[in-house]
Amino acid sequence: MLYLSILNYNTNFNKKIIYCNFLKIKKNIFFLKIKKKKFKYFLNIKQTIFFFFFLKIWNKIKFKNNLLFLTFIKKEIRSNLDGIFKLYLISKGIIINNVLNLNKIFLKSKNLIWTNIGCFCIKDFLKLNFNIINLIIESIDKIPYLTKYFIPKNVRLSNSNRIRLGAFISEGTTVMSEGYINFNTFIGNNCMIEGRVSAGVYISSNTDIGGSCSIMGTLSGGGNNIISIGNNCLLGANSGIGISLGNNCIIEAGLYITSGTKISLIFKNKKIIIKAKTLSFLNNLIFYRNSINGKVECCKNYSNFDKINKDLHKN
């Protein structure tokens, strides 16, 4: 699948493009039938773009710092711009997370200095005259903040510096100061994020990620299993998960559950011990640690999650 954007760009001192704004995005731009009128052939805009691409001259179309840019969602990251464009597609909700090929995003992307007046290559930044510029360095990173490119609708972001481009945040969600959302993530409606949401994670609606909570992602040895959390779930403060949860599930505060964690539960009137991954995607469960014997246990959740502080969550 092909996506195309008209972008407005800035260059570094060596005239290489390092920053851009995406002005217009189109999907699957392939040529239609050529129109025939008065025995002459005319090309519409889509047909013209196709032939530019077919003749490999699309990357030469420039006009007043505007550029025609194309990417294939199944292809690996080709450049810094390609990586930012794909992350932008996720944040805009044009493509859901874990669909785009983001392989080599860290290999192909470059560290840039992101400031209140734009971004700079590190070498260029050292040549600036700091005495005449009211400059604030916001980050030195390969991936910018979400709000550098896109402002989500009807959300509260206590500290926007902790949300990377490539995160999709639905309406009604609140991200508190210590909440962190990595790229290639999805956050559903009316969630409260006070912990860490790692890359690749999918969170459904009305879910509360407690303070200092951590969700295992697919980077830095996290494996290939994508973690998802259902609707109306609660992860207590300082808890964490490495398995997926269904709807209406609760993790006790301070309890971290990985796929290999031994869980004790009652099944058909017998007490059995299973690995936590066996319970992935099941609904209405509570995970807690027995305060007497220290074992991790699981039981049915009959509580009503609607008892949370709605005034705090209201956006």
* Catalytic residue (choose from 178, 194, 252, 297): 194
- From the list 105, 141, 133, 111, the residue with the least C-alpha distance to 123 is 111
Q: Which residues of 13-28 are buried (b: 16+ CB within 10 A; e: fewer)?
A: eeeebbbbebeebeee
Burial class (CB in 10 A: 0-12, 13-18, 19+), 236: buried
- CA dihedral over 291, 296, 302, 304, signed as positive or negative: positive
- From the list 166, 262, 144, 248, the residue with the least C-alpha distance to 206 is 248
Concerning whether 297 is annotated as a catalytic residue, the answer is no
Which token pair is 83?
A: 């990586």
Measured CA to CA in angstroms, residue 72 lies from 39, 104, 141, 278 at distances of: 36, 14, 24, 36
Burial class (CB in 10 A: 0-12, 13-18, 19+), 229: buried
CA angle, 184 as apex, 1 and 164 as ends, to 5°? 125
- Which positions are catalytic? 194
